[in-house]
A and B are shown apart, each in its own frame.
Chain A
């Protein structure tokens, strides 16, 4: 049922010409897919998708629309041909699914390889109940390090593309100026109430990720969402004052360095790169410490990159 909704949303997004509506539909689409992920037992993934898809990407796309234009030309090039290609490819893929094991079959090949090891051994080896966290930060630590580096690189890329040029200096109105208050009193007050809670929740997600759904990626995105909300309501200039761009650049790099540094620390202590067993007096404590530090590194980098990306986009609009 949810999947049918998902399909309909995607289809209407494809048909509409008003890009603003398309972006809004895309936000709904992300939220729906988060709901689907929950029903498929992927709570960590749903968490991330809800924060990223419905929050940050929608805001970024809206900012892009503000910088470009809202309407799409009605021209389609080679629409019949595209439809043909899509139908044929889709048909071939559907034919391919007949060879796949039925949905939710416990005997499917995916569940036979390393997954049983993770499920049975990870509580003993790492002492962490959330298997997703232990696989993410420990068993597949190399992958995650690579991914954090990709995020870092994307942040640098956005800065390189849009960060250049001198910004116009916008005078900051005083915090409780009647002008700001009278414009959106409800928004103003509610945001003030909500932001500390979002920040607190982000910290909870960060440090409770070992036991419940959560971890560095989700916490980073949620933390950044709170700052973005602040910037949207109180103005970009004030948000920039609270968190200067130079600090963000430093944080972006230090998160990746912390992650990589944990690996090196493991080597110095006599283990392999990213081997946490040697970090403390016994392996389980070492794993705990390693996973904690690595998740912290991930959280710092993700937060800093997301805020930087938003500031850079929004700052572009302020240019003369």
Chain B
């Protein structure tokens, strides 16, 4: 039972990761795929932050009367990763917009069909 609670966070992370993965491979819509990638990405963020948590710890800002702090290193890594993530998402969406202008569709099947017919 202890084991169940001990790994609950990680299991949710895996569930989210797999949901994102499923969206990416099973859906043909390009915007949906990017949403899927973002869900996947957030699950990784959650994994890191979960690992950084320490029992009885506080946020890693030095203050009087606090002895235990959570691990600041994962926070740093994920903080920057989020902003980099939105920048790359924007790049992906820009590609989607260009694809839509060229093919007038953002469905994978439709794009493949047009490619084959030419």
Contact = CB atoms under 8 A, between A and B. Distances in A.
Contacts, number: 295
Contact of A6 (B8, B12, B74, B81): B12
A119 B58 CA distance: 12
Contact of A41 (B12, B60, B77, B96): B60
Contact of A130 (B3, B60, B68): B60
B94 A158 contact: yes
Chain A interface, >50% SS class: helix
Given A23-B35, A42-B49, A129 B8 contact: no
Given A44-B75, A114-B73, A144-B80, A82 B54 contact: no
B58 to A, nearest CB: 6
A61 B31 contact: yes
Contacts of A94: 11, 14
B45 A131 contact: no
Contacts of A140: 76
Interface residues of B, number: 87
Interface in A33-64: 33, 36-37, 40-45, 48-49, 52-53, 56-57, 60-61, 63-64
Interface in B63-116: 63, 68-91, 93-98, 100, 105-110
A82 B23 CA distance: 9
Interface residues of A, number: 102
Interface in A80-126: 82-83, 85-87, 89-90, 93-94, 97-98, 100, 102-106, 108, 110-111, 114-115, 118-119, 122-123
A22 B35 contact: yes
Given A154-B88, A155-B87, A106 B100 contact: no
A111 to B, nearest CB: 5
Contact of A57 (B38, B97, B110): B38
A67 interface: yes
6 contacts: A97-B10, A136-B79, A151-B87, A154-B87, A158-B94, A161-B94
The list of the 6 closest CB pairs from A to B, nearest first, reads A102-B6, A154-B87, A82-B26, A41-B70, A131-B72, A129-B62
Given A64-B93, A118-B73, A221-B83, 5 more contacts: A42-B52, A72-B29, A102-B3, A118-B72, A154-B91
Interface of B: 2-3, 5-12, 14-23, 25-29, 31-32, 34-36, 38-39, 42, 45-46, 49-63, 68-91, 93-98, 100, 105-110
